[in-house]
Structure 1
Amino acid sequence: MLSYRKFAYVYDELMEDMPYPEWLRFARTAWEKYDMPKSVVDLGCGTGAITIPLINAGFEMTGIDLSGDMLAVARQKMESSPNGARLFKSGSVRWVQQDMRSWEVPEPVDSVISFCDCLNYLLEEEDITAVFNRTYAGLKPGGSFLFDVHHPNTLRRYDEEQPFVWDEKSISYIWTCDFDSLRCEIEHHLSIFAQEKEGPLYRRFEETHVQRAYEPEWLRSELLRAGFHEVYCYADFSWREADEKTERLFFVALK
């Protein structure tokens, strides 16, 4: 399991172009279609980029992440946002450091979400199965589990298209990959150059992130085996049926 360290403090800057509004829109549409929740757990919440807008929209949120550094950034962002301190004190949000394979909250919730390919960081099939089983147990009857993962072909494309370079004034990176085709597992190597808050100097640090992709039919079968009675798989933030050209698989599983 990945535990972000220094990366947590430059994460938002590196991820500023990620389609967070699209993830939020997908969740909203799914909830309108199946059942609008009141209480929601965000597994792998990171720095709260999805959790915080949902808090501000009135949902009772629990943000769960393995990284204490990521959660520290999320808390800082929450408390500095409009009404953030008041919402935190009111119990509308909880930040919890837990492993998603064994997460738990005091009472079952209406919905669980896990976006931005969090489940791809689980490197063994039994890890995925553990999350599915734990999530099923943590949901109320009729609850929903929404998540997205990279399609296996997406990791293959990363390997074919590397290296990647990103260069901005305050932060840059060089990103290379090693791909294990038998396991459909990719190791991302990032050399990150972040400008110090004061002065022209940059500090360099290295990050290694490993992800594995799983076949959509296997994921569907494991969700059903965990107890979910309806499982749907969609393509790339849309409601189209997923196929081999899909980059991100979006699952909706109903208890």
Structure 2
Amino acid sequence: MKNAYNTSAYGSFAYVYDMFMDNIDYEEWADYITDHLKKYGIEDGLVLELGCGTGTMTGLLADRGYDMIGVDNSGEMLAEAMEKRMESGQDILYLQQDMQEFELYGTVRAIVSVCDSLNYITEREELLQVFRLVNNYLDPEGLFLFDMNTIHKYRDILGDTTIAENRDEGSFIWDNSYDPENGLNIYELAVFLPREDGLYEKAEEVHCQKAYSQEEIEELIREAGMELLEVYDAYTGRPAADDSERLFFIAREKGKAK
């Protein structure tokens, strides 16, 4: 059963998402992902991004020679992604689908998911279902590369904090509350978007993410039928550690369920 929080779609925030995420070095992340894809012999071919959002990473991987598919459940985020596609002239297929139920016409060489998109899956069995779908749609020995926020980040850094930012293009207030018993981090988000009459329009959203331990994620990878290859402190190349805020996992398809 899905929880009652808005865990699948960004509404008004979609229009200012890229602006407020400009602290992320997407180019560096794309290079990191590409290096690991090539390390395992995937230099081209079909690659799927799960939870692609506004398509920034999808577009960067397309620039690096991959035939990209982007899946996201938010129509607002995908509208931004398709606008970028039009501006760049890239040949990217975008699909509005729930990660827990995504469908493709065939298999792909690799599946990637970044920016803690998978932390939005707040039930263990639902995350296992996503991993099983990933395994099902990977080519033989295809790769699954993804990042997830850690318990340390939610508990010790984000939990019970307020993040606010004010710019000419818009403002937001982001209240966090972390429930250690259930491992859930609730984001109460208020977005203020300027109107032509000089006033601001307020929109409110509530999001929820789940903190999974590294051990839980590794167990789910194995249960889904994949082989865990590597785990890193995300986008640094350093080994995973207790103070890692985000982990980067690499898993490989090793057979389909009968």
Q: What TM-score comes out, normalization by structure 2 length?
A: 0.90
Contact 2:75–2:96 (CA under 8 A) maintained in structure 1: yes
In structure 1, list runs of 5 or more residues that go unmatched. Answer: none
Contact 1:158–1:177 (CA under 8 A) maintained in structure 2: no
Q: How far does the alpha carbon of each residue in 1:179-212 deviate from its partner, in whole angstroms, 9 at most, with x for none?
A: 211111110112221222x353221111211111
Q: Which residue of 2 aligns with 1:11?
A: 17
SS at match of 2:101: coil
Q: Quick one: which of 234, 237, 240 aligns to 1:236?
A: 234
SS at match of 2:13: helix
Q: How far does the alpha carbon of each residue in 1:148-182 deviate from its partner, in whole angstroms, 9 at most, with x for none?
A: 00011100124456122212222222221222111
Contact 1:170–1:194 (CA under 8 A) maintained in structure 2: yes
In structure 2, list runs of 5 or more residues that go unmatched. Answer: 1-6, 254-258
Deviates more, 1:12-21 or 1:119-128: 12-21
Over 3 Å counting, the alpha-carbon distance change for 1:160 and 1:212 in structure 2 is closer
Q: Which residue of 2 aligns with 1:194?
A: 193
Deviates more, 1:27-36 or 1:154-163: 154-163
Contact 1:220–1:231 (CA under 8 A) maintained in structure 2: no
Q: How far does the alpha carbon of each residue in 1:6-55 deviate from its partner, in whole angstroms, 9 at most, with x for none?
A: 22222122222222123212211111211224110000001101001222
Deviates more, 1:110-119 or 1:66-75: 66-75
The alignment-based identity, stated in percent, is 35
Q: Measure, in 1, the Cα distance between the counterparts of 2:129 and 2:212.
A: 15
The amino acid of 2:178's aligned partner reads F
The amino acid of 2:177's aligned partner reads D
Contact 1:242–1:249 (CA under 8 A) maintained in structure 2: yes
The answer on 1:215 being equivalent to 2:200 is no
Contact 2:159–2:177 (CA under 8 A) maintained in structure 1: no
> How many residue pairs align between the two structures?
246
The answer on 1:69 being equivalent to 2:79 is no
Q: Which residue of 1 aligns with 2:51?
A: 44
Q: Measure, in 2, the Cα distance between the counterparts of 1:116 and 1:58.
A: 21
The amino acid of 1:127's aligned partner reads E
SS at match of 2:190: strand
Q: Measure, in 1, the Cα distance between the counterparts of 2:158 and 2:11.
A: 25
The amino acid of 1:4's aligned partner reads Y
Q: What TM-score comes out, normalization by structure 1 length?
A: 0.91
Q: Which residue of 2 aligns with 1:21?
A: 27
Q: Measure, in 2, the Cα distance between the counterparts of 1:157 and 1:171.
A: 28
Contact 1:175–1:190 (CA under 8 A) maintained in structure 2: yes
The answer on 1:54 being equivalent to 2:52 is no
Could you say what the CA RMSD is over the residues aligned between the two structures, in angstroms? 1.5
Q: How does 1:1-255 map to 2 (within 5 A)?
A: 1-36=7-42, 37-81=44-88, 84=89, 87-88=90-91, 93-160=92-159, 162-196=161-195, 198-255=196-253
SS at match of 1:148: strand
Contact 2:26–2:57 (CA under 8 A) maintained in structure 1: yes
Q: Measure, in 1, the Cα distance between the counterparts of 2:29 and 2:117.
A: 13
Q: Measure, in 2, the Cα distance between the counterparts of 1:160 and 1:79.
A: 38
The amino acid of 2:187's aligned partner reads H
Q: CA deviation at 1:70?
A: 1.2
Q: Measure, in 2, the Cα distance between the counterparts of 1:22 and 1:207.
A: 30
